[in-house]
A and B are shown apart, each in its own frame.
Chain A
Amino acid sequence: MALQNSTSRPVKTVRFHQNWSAYAFLAPALVILFLSLLLPAVATLLMSFTDVSFLKPTSFIGFDNYIKLFNDTRFQQAVGNTIHYTIGVTFPTMLLGLLAAVALNQKVPGRMAFRTIFYLPVLTSLIAAAVVWAYVYEPYAGPLNGVLTRVGLPPQPWLQNPSLAMNALIIMAIWRDFGTAMIIYLAGLQDIPNDLYEAARLDGAKGKDIFLRITVPMLSSVTFYLLIILIVQTFQVFGAIYVMTQGGPLGSTETVVYQMYQTAFGYTEFGYGAAMSTILFLTILVFSIIGTRIMRRKDA
């Protein structure tokens, strides 16, 4: 009888009854995710179709914010700055991370100490690091200009010159992020079977060939993963700019997220800021989907 009862139930109901405890454990996390991520995301999307502001009553304006955005030269400059920052940080960070990982994957004396030292910036507070770097870049008393002066070079207004400021921020970001790239590459390197290197040595390959023909291709999954997370991370840069340049000088370090913050909370144009946020969200989503697809194809 019991068997008859259980088989007569719809399959989906049976599955739910079997898995209810799993749903119960997932529920708190799902509620938090819904309240903190999904709800604000939907609210932002809806807000982007309005002119919500503290200064006037809210009304639905359709795609006006988006049309305005695509004609906004300041936004275009912010997009350009963001791409400059993303490219400037992502590729050198990956390259330095890879070189450091390859070097510290060898049995060199003090390699654990070097690994720790290179990873330490990742662990520091971003705000604290930004304050320290602002001091390093300080035009009169900063140690960087001190060094330049000592070797006979002219001091530079690192954060005050529009053509230098973004690169100064990029250098700081590379310093802070390459430890992450190094650790991820180290994990990838340790996954490469030693047999492959021995086979390559016997096949007559030397250092450069082994690196380019074995190590780099064997790290391609790790490289794609790093590329995606660094692009997504650098696209959202805000903290360092807020502390060190406030988007200046002359908007040369104003990125999309910083401009979004300024628009929404500085000028109280929440609808317009929401449209910027939606565009940024979609851009990041596209990169994430491309990254996930590539990873899946590589794993298959």
Chain B
Amino acid sequence: MNSAVLPQRIRTRLRRRHAAEKRFRCYGVVALCFALAFLFVLLATIIINGAGVLIHKRMLFEVVVSEHHGDRYGAMIKDSWKAQFPEVTERRQRRALYGLISRDAEFLLRERLADVPVPDNGIVVLSVPFSSDAGEFLETDPDKRDSFSKRLSTEQRGWLERIEAGGKVETVFNSDFFLNADSREPEVAGILGALIGSMLTMCVTFLFSFPVGVMAAVYLEEFAAKGRLFRFIEVNINNLAAVPSIVFGLLGLAVFIGLFGVPRSTPLVGGLVLGLMTLPTIIIATRAALQAVPSSLRYAALALGATPMQAVLHQGLPSAMPGIFTGAIIGMAQALGETAPLLMIGMVAFVADIPDGFTSASTALPVQVFLWADSPERGFVEKTSAAILVLLAFLAVMNSAAIYLRKKFELKW
């Protein structure tokens, strides 16, 4: 129809409706941009702060291994380091000097000497990290180093610049961050302990909450009589999904640790508590997915002589799988980011060893972020951002797995 033949009144209203439509879309775009801008700023800050963790400065350090020191590796490091600065005599100066290299150097030497015999000349070349302030100083552009005037003394800066000029400083990929567990020395603190802790915890969470949640949902949806008890349970499950997570921590403390004697601070108890937290999400998602399966499918199975169990296991569940996985992953992603319930069950802890099983002491990624963010040492600022990036990457991997599984099990009618 040609708009020219329409009466004026209708044309005006049509124009107004089209304008409203346009405005509505505009609001949507603005909202999206707003959200994206925030996300961008957040990510950009984290990346800018955390990227520095990828490379760090180390020193090629010749350690003189002498008989008379026996197994006092700290003394060997200190003596070899001091020998490079003959002018250092006072106690105060020595302390300032020792403060420039990582305290971890003596353990690196100890490890090295355990593996490799000492060469005849008694000199072991070791790649040693600088202490975090010194490392940061060396990574800074020479023109901008004045800002360190309060953190490092003039003397210390002079020594560092001398070592740098001597060509003993190397810039290398910071594998320590990815291969070490936590440490109180920022320059050697790593994320691997927390990462493995989180993986183990998530394994337990999945193995506990997925089967239990799916079974509960299948029963509620397919078999339970829909009476008053049913509605009571339904309301309570929905409520449970909104309970603050710390409550689950308290419950876990009382039941798992207090009653069953599951060891504290382990991925096992952490996973069980987070599993409890995830259960309602999985049950709700599974029920919704089962409801979305066309009932004709089930009736057809029943009509062909399948038992109700066969109808669910062969038709209902496989068709609902994509939805169930989506729900499970949303629940797990929530659980991955939790620290509050872990505080109660002892996972907010300093763990210097990489966990090697479900019952070894361990912490988790968000806890590591929290602990580092709370540390006075300046070196941990960078580590905090980098740990957040690792957490985000872990989340991305988990979500991709969910998408893959969903695609794999997707059925089309």
- Do these two chains really belong together in a complex? no
